[in-house]
Amino acid sequence: MPTTNIDALAMRLRQAGETGVATGPVRDEIPAGDVAAAYGIQKANTDFWLSAGRRLSGRKIGLTAKAVQKQLGVDEPDYGMLFADMALGDGEEVSLSRVMQPKVEAEVALVLERDLGVPDCTLADLIGAVAYALPAIEIVASRIRNWDIRLVDTIADNASSGLYVLGTEPRRLEGLDLRLAGMVMELRGEPVSLGAGAACLGNPLNAAVWLARKMIAVGAPLKAGDVIMTGALGPMVAVNPGDVIDVRISGLGSVRAAFGRQGTT
């Protein structure tokens, strides 16, 4: 696609986020199934935000759980950028004015203590680079009206990223079996989503290896200190003003997101 078209679509998504007025899908304005063009739109906005002073804090993997893939009608993962101003503290009030059409996912987050730039990154390479794991909530959002998205739409929209919340008790990987880690998400004490690590490409570590290889392939390898949101362990859930979401992941502990009663969605 011509750079001018990519820049125009990137600006359209950016303006939707700035104004809070969702836009239509982008898939009809790029060649059918053109994933490279979709990532080009994402990168155009990433470059814009970096030049505006935002700081990258890591990456997110999307569409790793079969349940989420079914919800969105896609059959492969994607990735997006995490920025430092997207991070929220455990239990901190979430202003709904910051996210459009928000939904939540329970995830395992990994934080790196070493760079991951080796070619053909292996599972052993990844494990050796991880400092610790945390329970996490991703607050996904869509700048595209009514979540009318396919793979290229969500990729272009920075993998439908919004905000993320990390737990506060880091766990080393030793002794953890993330594949069998069970997850329960509760809304005001009632279970609304169940899952396990196996739902995330078979293991959240597998998802992280996939991401590491992708980042190396595009010339943006993961660095020490980066947060990796490895992908949903169960179905995403829509949230409304005043909702309180609690997530527990076996072996990792718990994390909470509390949504304010005011703000636009």
Kindly give the pairing relationship between strand 130-140 and strand 163-166. antiparallel
- Give the type of residue at 249: I
Q: Is residue 240 part of a domain?
A: yes
Full residue range of the structural domain in which residue 133 is found: 55-259
CATH number of the domain where residue 168 is located = 3.90.850.10
Q: Is residue 6 part of a domain?
A: no
Do 136 and 109 contact (CB within 8 A), yes or no?
A: yes
Give CA–CA dist 229/163, Å, rounded.
11
pLDDT (tens digit, 0 to 9) for every residue of the chain, 265 residues total? Answer: 778 899 999 999 999 999 999 999 999 999 988 999 999 999 999 999 999 999 999 999 998 977 666 766 667 789 999 999 999 999 999 999 999 999 999 999 999 999 999 989 999 999 999 999 999 999 999 999 999 998 899 999 999 999 999 999 999 999 999 999 999 999 988 999 999 999 999 999 999 999 999 999 999 999 999 999 999 999 899 999 999 999 999 999 999 999 998 644 3
Q: Is residue 5 part of a domain?
A: no
Residue 253 buriedness (CB in 10 A; 0-12 / 13-18 / 19+): middle
What does pTM read for this prediction? Answer: 0.94
- Give the type of residue at 131: A
Q: Is residue 27 part of a domain?
A: no
Q: In total, how many domains does the chain have?
A: 1
Distance between the two ends of the chain, CA-based, in angstroms?
32
Q: What are phi and psi of 243, to 5 degrees?
A: -70, 145
Q: Is residue 12 part of a domain?
A: no
Q: Is residue 251 part of a domain?
A: yes
Q: Is residue 122 part of a domain?
A: yes
